[in-house]
Amino acid sequence: MRPRRLRPRPIGPMRPPEWLVHAAGEVSGVSVALIKSGVWRSARPTHLVPIERALRQWGQSMAALGAIAAIRFPDQPAVIDERGTITYQDLDRRCSREAAGLHAQYGIVAGSKVAVLCRNHRGFLEATLAASRLGADVLFVNTEFALPQLKAVLERHRPDLLIHDSEFAEAAGEIPAVIAWPDADGGAVTLDQLAESEDPEAPLPDKPGHITILTSGTTGAPKAAPRAPTAWGLAGLTASTLNRIGLRAGEPMVICPPLFHGLGLLNSMLALFLGSPLVLARWYDAAAVLASVDTHRAGSIVAVPVMLQRLLDVGPAAIADHELRSLRAVISGASALGPALAERFIAQFGPVLCDAYGSSEIGIATIATSADLIAAPGTVGRPCLGSSVRILGDDDQPVATGVTGRIFAGGGLVFGGYSDGSSKTTVDGRMSTGDLGHLDAAGRLFVDGREDDMIVSGGENVYPVEVEDCLMSHPGVVEAVVVGVPDEEFGQRLVAYVVPAGPAPGTVTEDELIEHVRTNLARYKTPRKIVLVQDLPRNATGKVLRSKLTNP
């Protein structure tokens, strides 16, 4: 009997994984994005020599970024704020004079520490760029801190100089100070006076200074996170932003979150690279933001999720009164963007919303476009070019697709450690974000909650984000936060704090919301109690302060 001959089974064309297809598309799309954004059009051969000189003088620093913007976009508006408009050329001239004054009058040199305590206005940018020209280390201080907190931060870090708005004068104490935003004449020296100084040019620093961001401090005292972003890290973030969001050079950018926070700061650096005017206001007002987009034909808004909700609260009729066709992108970040809020926002403003995930320690790691938010509700998107994300188990090994684990991120924006010498857990060059999450087959990241927020109730692990998203999917709910409180029987029980939609009482009831969760999630994920509140306690960047929620 002859042996049976097996015929080879035909094999169809092999398809690469979906995440690899997207990664390849990102790389190929970068050059197209640079052309579409107008970045190439603003580059001229005559700029090359002065740009090379600026890089030699200040290296990879904010000072170089500001000087290069003045070379490429001298007559373009740089900042539009309550004082009016200033061009990039005038901003550069003022910063040069201010740096000379800081050196001659206050002895600021490379390695000095300059604290900046300013709201969003041109003075914040001038203080940062002037100090950076000297090679000084810049510490950004949270303007929402109470006076005792401000004094404690300044005492801990002991800056050589404090540049602040008049309203924070009491915090300075014995520290030499310069006023960035004067509320009245008289008192300390101002940046305006330094900008008119005739002091000799300051010497060039032998090394660039660092910028230091204070962490949010939602789980303890804020820590100082010094940053020295690499050129590759900034280039990757810029390329991904242009490719996915579609920003254009020269189009105004309305930045709503504080500039002292990573989201505001990184986007202000992006605006400098694009030659885009920064539209700034010292206090957030949703109606004023829409008016700014209309008046200045802004191409983008940067906001945190609670600010997006305030924009929706303006109402469809009032929103329709503004011309918003110039708006290409609304960049959200700094805290979790719930799927329900994203859906409502896109329905009102169109597919302009995107979400940036990151932290003070890792910078911006991933970006989700409106297409991502629609196709995969709850995602924070895919890694930026030059960044990488891994989901690791307790054994520090990668987990399978769809399995929840610890999120680790790597790239040129990751910081080198806190100023006290401590750091976060690092595995294979990637740093823990402190969050739990998972990846889908397309390489999109989902954040399931904070490692320290996980609730163990009756032996079951509950991630608050899932329950919060479920509550916010109810039409009668605007915001929700779920916490665990001690329980003798179950170890912990779930309590939800809910902001109902509409001002009228009785819009939604506790029993109705409990039934809504029970219908959509496992029984053990249902809160034992719902507390209806008017608003939630937050820090300056919109993150909910769970520790401030009282035990009912």
According to CATH, the superfamily of the domain at 455-548 is ANL, C-terminal domain (3.30.300.30)
- Run means of pLDDT, 10 residues per run, the chain, 552 residues: 52 51 54 62 74 82 89 94 96 96 95 95 97 94 88 91 94 93 81 93 87 62 50 65 83 94 88 93 96 96 92 94 95 88 95 88 84 94 85 91 90 52 69 89 89 78 86 90 82 88 72 91 88 85 76 59
State the sign of the Cα–Cα–Cα–Cα dihedral 228, 261, 289, 310. Answer: positive
**Tokens at residue 317, please?**
């009729």
Give me the sheet containing 224-227, strands edge to edge. 177-181, 161-165, 113-117, 137-140, 211-214, 224-227
Domains 231-452 and 455-548 agree in fold: no
Is the distance from CB of 430 to CB of 386 less than 8 angstroms? no
Closest CA to 455 of 471, 466, 444, 447: 466
Is the distance from CB of 532 to CB of 469 less than 8 angstroms? no
How far is the C-alpha of 419 from the C-alpha of 426, rounded, in Å? Answer: 17
The pLDDT of residue 430: 83
Cα–Cα distances (Å) from 127 to 106, 227, 362, in that order, read: 14, 17, 24
The pLDDT of residue 219: 44
Closest CA to 79 of 68, 90, 71: 90
Domain 86-209 has CATH 3.30.70.3000: no
Q: Which residues contact 95 (CB under 8 A, 6 or more apart)?
A: 63, 66, 126, 129, 130, 133
**Tokens at residue 190, please?**
């101002």
Question: Exposed, middle or buried by CB within 10 Å (0-12, 13-18, 19+), for 52?
Answer: exposed
- Which residues are bridge partners to 143 per DSSP? none
The pLDDT of residue 484: 85
Is the distance from CB of 437 to CB of 405 less than 8 angstroms? yes
Cα–Cα distances (Å) from 153 to 141, 169, 327, in that order, read: 8, 15, 38
Locate the domains of the chain by residue range: 86-209, 231-452, 455-548
Angle (nearest 5°) at CA 349 between 344 and 353: 80
Which uninterrupted H or E stretch holds 430?
A: strand 430-439
Domain 231-452 has CATH 3.40.50.180: no
How far is the C-alpha of 180 from the C-alpha of 165, rounded, in Å? Answer: 5
Is the distance from CB of 461 to CB of 490 less than 8 angstroms? no
The pLDDT of residue 534: 87
Q: Enter the pTM of the model.
A: 0.81
The pLDDT of residue 131: 96
Residue type, 414: V
